[in-house]
Chain A
């Protein structure tokens, strides 16, 4: 036991859980391609995937299901990664990507764009700008007197989030009735907004590349800022990097799918319960598990009561909460 644990820290066996998660991610993609309100026989699906098949089936699988499944994966991956980073930044396992008011800023801007009657692309653009604006406001305010601590950052963010919440309610109250359903779906998080998966996938891959070499440093930062500094970590620049990166990831995710809840908080937390807190394992594992969870959740959202469509945020919570509670109950940590 002790020996196995020892080698886990040092050596390749990190790859085993990752391989398992990668397999799960692939299966989830397969499931997402196979399931929909139109049922395809496995043979028909294979025909499409091998570059063959009926035109209707090709459109269904290649133009509707595939981009959406990939976007779901990318969004989930970004949210889980952002959650893992935010938790390290704030040294708080209960932080999530939205804890600093980022989704609030994005939501206010997106709802305002919808209220102005702008198209989907502009709504997404507004969400991105709103998320970044919120990030800068929170960081600027928390920075204020010159010194900021994770607690001060958290407090500023939470208060900003409450402010954004009030603005959201205000926008909903003054919006024309016929625009409300779209706004509510956006607030609940919905992948019908994802027109192309490439931005989320590219950002997810790039940020993993950036963060992996920092993995051990993040492990040290998790022990507290002073401890990390005493072990040679340049804490302040690292925290800046973490904050801006996590914000960017969340902004891209929110831009793609609205504010999908739960994934960013629970996925890293669940993985820590099973795999410990080595960021070199947790970060890629979060990416894979977050992507898988959202892909499965979106597949259910599309098919559960088809042709009626559910917002994916509902499913992530319904799937994730029992899983999380079960893991928490079973763990001895």
Chain B
């Protein structure tokens, strides 16, 4: 089958008992949101799905092949990751940073060509970063830096996006712009998995939702079924008020 599939997957969160094994099927076009309180293992799950850390149990298959058997380069051509943490220890420009998204597609001795550069420029334009292309990363604001990370994965153009808090540091306008961009990617046949803190973004943009509880318990399914106030209140241990705006549920914490 095509898609990102987990079979009996147990992520390895140190000091936690196994919890519920995950059997997820993420197919192209789906927009998955991973919700959970701090420490529930959202980032760990994302890294495990990306093959960056081994699971405690179970398997992950990408388009029918076990992830562990794919070479990193092959994997990177199909699967891109937006990280929450970044290491900008060395000087680099915005353009150079977007351009590394082409790395998996170039042979070691190959230089980036005009076509690679055009892809990077297009990604920067899409994220409204063209005017910053020659700037040093160190001189950017947090939100601008976040958009550069998205531009890198957009340049990479993978079939599956794993995005850890893609709207981190972004102002309202850019939050919406980024979620629109991701939705557009999904509509072009790409699969999305996003760790989100904002219930309302999940409610508005996700087709599927995975709820991760701190004790390892989990449940998943179509968004409208999962976003039940009772389940969410238990998830965050926080009373919520739910109203409906423009046909989507909106959750507000109760005082």
Query: Which residues of A are at the interface with B, using a C-beta cutoff of 8 A?
Result: 1-2, 5-6, 9-11, 87, 91-93, 213-214, 216-217, 219-220, 222-224, 226-227, 229-234, 272-273, 276-278, 332-333
18 contacts between A and B (CB under 8 A): A1-B134, A5-B133, A87-B90, A213-B109, A216-B103, A217-B103, A223-B86, A223-B88, A226-B81, A227-B87, A229-B72, A232-B74, A232-B77, A232-B104, A233-B103, A277-B91, A333-B91, A333-B136
Q: B residues 23-48 with Cβ under 8 Å of A?
A: 47
Residues of A within 8 A of B251 (CB): none
Cβ B76 vs Cβ A231 within 8 A? yes
Cβ A216 vs Cβ B92 within 8 A? no
- Which residue on chain A has the smallest CB distance to residue B75? A232
Query: Which residues of B are at the interface with A, using a C-beta cutoff of 8 A?
Result: 47, 50-52, 71-77, 79-81, 83, 85-93, 95-97, 99-101, 103-104, 106, 108-109, 111-114, 116-117, 133-134, 136, 138, 156
Residues of B within 8 A of A2 (CB): 133-134
Cβ B76 vs Cβ A232 within 8 A? yes
- Which residue on chain A has the smallest CB distance to residue B111? A10
Cβ A231 vs Cβ B90 within 8 A? no
Point out the residue from A214, A232, A277 that lies within 8 Å of B90, measured CB to CB.
A277
Distance to closest chain A CB from B87 (angstroms): 4
Cβ B108 vs Cβ A226 within 8 A? no
Cβ B91 vs Cβ A272 within 8 A? yes
Distance to closest chain A CB from B54 (angstroms): 11
- Which residue on chain A has the smallest CB distance to residue B156? A231
Cβ A93 vs Cβ B89 within 8 A? yes
- Which residue on chain A has the smallest CB distance to residue B103? A231
Distance to closest chain B CB from A138 (angstroms): 21
Q: In the complex, A91 Cα to B113 Cα: how many Å? A: 27
Q: A229-B52, A230-B76, A277-B92 are in contact. Are A6 and B117 (CB under 8 A)?
A: yes
Distance to closest chain A CB from B164 (angstroms): 10
Q: In the complex, A234 Cα to B51 Cα: how many Å? A: 12
Cβ B111 vs Cβ A276 within 8 A? no
Cβ A232 vs Cβ B103 within 8 A? yes
Q: In the complex, A273 Cα to B51 Cα: how many Å? A: 35
Q: A5-B134, A276-B91 are in contact. Are A220 and B103 (CB under 8 A)?
A: yes
Residues of A within 8 A of B99 (CB): 9
Q: A10-B112, A230-B81, A232-B73 are in contact. Are A272 and B90 (CB under 8 A)?
A: yes
Cβ A224 vs Cβ B86 within 8 A? yes
Point out the residue from A10, A222, A229 that lies within 8 Å of B89, measured CB to CB.
A222
Cβ B90 vs Cβ A93 within 8 A? yes
Distance to closest chain B CB from A224 (angstroms): 4
Residues of A within 8 A of B114 (CB): 10
Cβ A231 vs Cβ B100 within 8 A? yes
Q: In the complex, A311 Cα to B248 Cα: how many Å? A: 75
Known: A5-B133, A91-B87. 5 other contacts (CB 8 A): A6-B134, A227-B87, A229-B51, A230-B79, A233-B103
Cβ B87 vs Cβ A276 within 8 A? no
Point out the residue from B50, B52, B87 that lies within 8 Å of A223, measured CB to CB.
B87
Cβ B87 vs Cβ A219 within 8 A? no
Cβ B96 vs Cβ A9 within 8 A? yes
Residues of B within 8 A of A213 (CB): 108-109
- Which residue on chain B has the smallest CB distance to residue A11? B111
Distance to closest chain B CB from A223 (angstroms): 6
Q: In the complex, A1 Cα to B138 Cα: how many Å? A: 19
Distance to closest chain A CB from B34 (angstroms): 17
Cβ A217 vs Cβ B133 within 8 A? no
Identify the 4 closest CB pairs spanning chains A and B, nearest first.
A232-B76, A224-B87, A232-B104, A232-B73
Distance to closest chain B CB from A273 (angstroms): 8
Cβ B108 vs Cβ A231 within 8 A? no
Cβ A6 vs Cβ B95 within 8 A? yes
Q: In the complex, A92 Cα to B89 Cα: how many Å? A: 7
Q: A231-B104, A233-B103 are in contact. Are A226 and B90 (CB under 8 A)?
A: no
Q: In the complex, A91 Cα to B88 Cα: how many Å? A: 9
Q: In the complex, A9 Cα to B133 Cα: how many Å? A: 12
Q: In the complex, A51 Cα to B136 Cα: how many Å? A: 52
Distance to closest chain A CB from B55 (angstroms): 16
Point out the residue from A92, A93, A233 that lies within 8 Å of B72, measured CB to CB.
A233
Q: A9-B117, A217-B103 are in contact. Are A276 and B86 (CB under 8 A)?
A: no
- Which residue on chain B has the smallest CB distance to residue A87? B90
Cβ B104 vs Cβ A276 within 8 A? no
Q: In the complex, A278 Cα to B81 Cα: how many Å? A: 22
Residues of B within 8 A of A91 (CB): 87, 89-90
Q: In the complex, A143 Cα to B207 Cα: how many Å? A: 43
Residues of A within 8 A of B90 (CB): 87, 91, 93, 222, 272, 277
Q: In the complex, A232 Cα to B112 Cα: how many Å? A: 16
Point out the residue from B91, B108, B112 that lies within 8 Å of A214, measured CB to CB.
B108
Q: In the complex, A328 Cα to B116 Cα: how many Å? A: 33
Q: In the complex, A331 Cα to B73 Cα: how many Å? A: 36
Residues of A within 8 A of B93 (CB): 5, 276
Q: In the complex, A213 Cα to B111 Cα: how many Å? A: 10
Q: In the complex, A213 Cα to B107 Cα: how many Å? A: 9
Residues of B within 8 A of A220 (CB): 100, 103
